[in-house]
Amino acid sequence: MLSVTSFESIQDHVSHVRQVFFSGKQRDLKWRKHQIQRLYDLVAENEERLIEAMYFDMNKPRNEALVGDIAPVLDECLYFLDNLDALAKDQKVKPRSIVNKTAKAIIRKDPLGVVLIIGCWNYPVQLSLLPLVGAIAAGNSVILKLSEVSPYTAAVITDLFPKYMDTSCYRIVNGGVEQTTALLKERFDHIFYTGNGTVGKIIMEAAAKHLTPVTLELGGKSPAIIAHDADMQLSANRIAFGKFFNTGQICVAVDHVFVPEHRVNEFVAAMKITLEKWYGPNPQESESYGRIIADRHVDRIEAVLNNRTSGEIAIGGQIDKSDRYMAPTVVVNVKYDDAALMSDEIFGPILPVISYKEIDEVIGLINKREPALALYVFTNKEKLAEKVLRNTQSGGVSVNDCLVHQAEYSMPFGGVGGSGMGNYHGVKSFDTFTHERSMLVKKQAMEGTNNVRYPPYTSRKLSI
Ligand code: NAD
């Protein structure tokens, strides 16, 4: 089982990896690539153990673990193995200022120093190791705080880590809120946090004490819109994927869906067809359907359903607490200001359906909230999609699909406003963990030319 890091050792871990950072070891690109290769091996050679651990944590179906956790980390490692030399290369710039004409102007891609990465439990491999790849690539020392909410996965990563990685500069800290709080007292050069906005504020406040920059990968109530013209069965399939993959426990999951009022029955019928096809008559017996991570989250999501102030359950609604099972659930006739369903991010398998007449009404409602992490729109009309995108905000967007923009690792991933700040994946991870150090290098020659900028400031000098 997962053993917790002692409070006494936390400070030592941080100061040790900082000391090693200043030894300059991580500056060597070959060395960084070797560490990235070792991280690749850690995941590739232990895929089965990691998949099994995620099954123990949340019954994560094998396919979802492979697609959502294992493959992204392997892919990110390969990306950096192929591209690190080019990314880390000094960038030469042509000086603009007359006094620097003969100097070398260089932007050096310096590591930030010691980075704290705080992972999250819903994708316990991806959300811990994927930012780690970027931090290693950029040459940093790292303290990795794994999520205590997915203890089986955290235990396997903790066991494997010293067998593969150089623990003089990369260290794991395990534990709960107390350990995270103790960590946050230390000074880091960057904090990368994935989780909810309430804790995001705590992280930012702690970081501010040391003027530490943060990346906050948060969540929000991501809407999907089915336009009047959309193919309903296709929309239902893709929205089901966006809602019930990982049992709705995804930061970019569809939180609620807007459906034209005359097409709500059609949507429910289409969703029934999809769910029956995917999970059979009883999703609890399906190997393709996961479970809620912890009892307290089952209680939380159950309360959201029971305390709703509008809507009727059209599909699902069954809960088996002993199995942490919640059926894929669709609630229709939900009011946008429902006190339970529409207050916080649901982060579970309940889909509120809100009916509408005109798209402008939907845009107005979306803009009443903080920008969400994702926004989905289903339509064949490009102009309509463009109208929605131009008049709303969100971290990212998929048109005519769900989740897939997050999984396109060639694009930046991150939130805006209440859904987070900063971004990562591929080149953006490298940028996130890099300081662009401007360096102007001059020769000790032609001192006479500098007279023009030295006092006394005569009128002749000013006229040059
Ligand atoms: P969580 O509560 O487990 O928090 C994650 C980390 O924060 C843990 O390491 C925990 O120890 C620490 N923590 C929790 N409370 C703390 C406190 N009071 N002080 C200091 N540290 C504390 O994670 P969660 O909030 O249950 O995760 C779900 C949320 O994360 C959802 O809102 C979801 O949208 C978001 N999320 C975002 C992304 C993304 O990439 N943007 C990915 C996954 C999840």
- CA 464 to CA 449: how far, in whole Å? 12
- Answer yes or no: are the C-beta atoms of 325 and 302 closer than 8 Å: no
Per-residue pLDDT of the chain (464 residues; tens, 9 = 90+): 788 999 999 999 999 999 999 999 999 999 999 999 999 999 999 999 999 999 999 999 999 999 999 999 999 999 999 999 999 999 999 999 888 888 999 999 999 999 999 999 999 999 999 999 999 999 999 999 999 999 999 999 999 999 999 999 999 999 999 999 999 999 999 999 999 999 999 999 999 999 999 999 999 999 999 999 999 999 999 999 999 999 999 999 999 999 999 999 999 999 999 999 999 999 999 999 999 999 999 999 999 999 999 999 999 999 999 999 999 999 999 999 999 999 999 999 999 999 999 999 999 999 999 999 999 999 999 999 999 999 999 999 999 999 999 999 999 999 999 999 999 999 999 999 999 999 999 999 888 888 888 999 998 877 76
- Answer yes or no: are the C-beta atoms of 99 and 114 closer than 8 Å: no
Is the CB–ligand 1 distance for residue 201 below 6 Å? no
Report how far ligand 1's centroid is from the alpha carbon of 117 (Å): 12
Residue of 121, 174, 180 best suited for mutating to test ligand 1, as the one with most atoms within 8 Å of CB:
180
DSSP assigned state of 373: E
- CA 458 to CA 63: how far, in whole Å? 75
Report how far ligand 1's centroid is from the alpha carbon of 446 (Å): 58
- Pick from 331, 349, 325: which is nearest to 254 by CA? 349
Q: Whose CA is nearest to atom 40 of ligand 1?
A: 217
User: What pLDDT does 2 receive?
Assistant: 83
DSSP for 289-322, written as a single string: ----S-HHHHHHHHHHHHT-SS-EEEE---EEGG
Model-level pTM? 0.95
User: What pLDDT does 214 receive?
Assistant: 98
User: What pLDDT does 462 receive?
Assistant: 76
Q: Which residues are catalytic?
A: 217, 251
User: What pLDDT does 3 receive?
Assistant: 87
- CA 340 to CA 319: how far, in whole Å? 18
Return the structure tokens found at 126: 């991806």
Contacts of 207 by beta carbon, 8 Å cutoff, 6+ apart: 184, 188, 191, 213, 214
User: What pLDDT does 464 receive?
Assistant: 65
Q: Whose CA is nearest to atom 35 of ligand 1?
A: 195
- CA 368 to CA 456: how far, in whole Å? 60
- Answer yes or no: are the C-beta atoms of 341 and 256 closer than 8 Å: yes
Report how far ligand 1's centroid is from the alpha carbon of 146 (Å): 11
Residue 30's identity, in one-letter code, is: K
| ipTM of the complex in this document | 0.94
- How much of the chain exceeds pLDDT 70, in percent? 100
Burial profile 78-91: b = 16 or more Cβ within 10 angstroms, e = fewer: ebbbeebeebbeee
Q: For the purposes of burial, counting CB atoms within 10 Å of the CB of 249, is it exposed (0-12), middle (13-18) or buried (19 or more)?
A: buried
User: What pLDDT does 446 receive?
Assistant: 84
- CA 162 to CA 139: how far, in whole Å? 19
Q: For the purposes of burial, counting CB atoms within 10 Å of the CB of 301, is it exposed (0-12), middle (13-18) or buried (19 or more)?
A: buried
Please list the alpha-helical segments (H only) found in 177-231. 177-185, 197-208
**203 Cα nearest atom in ligand 1:** 20
Report how far ligand 1's centroid is from the alpha carbon of 195 (Å): 3
Q: Whose CA is nearest to atom 42 of ligand 1?
A: 251
- CA 133 to CA 80: how far, in whole Å? 8
- Answer yes or no: are the C-beta atoms of 73 and 133 closer than 8 Å: yes
- CA 311 to CA 198: how far, in whole Å? 28
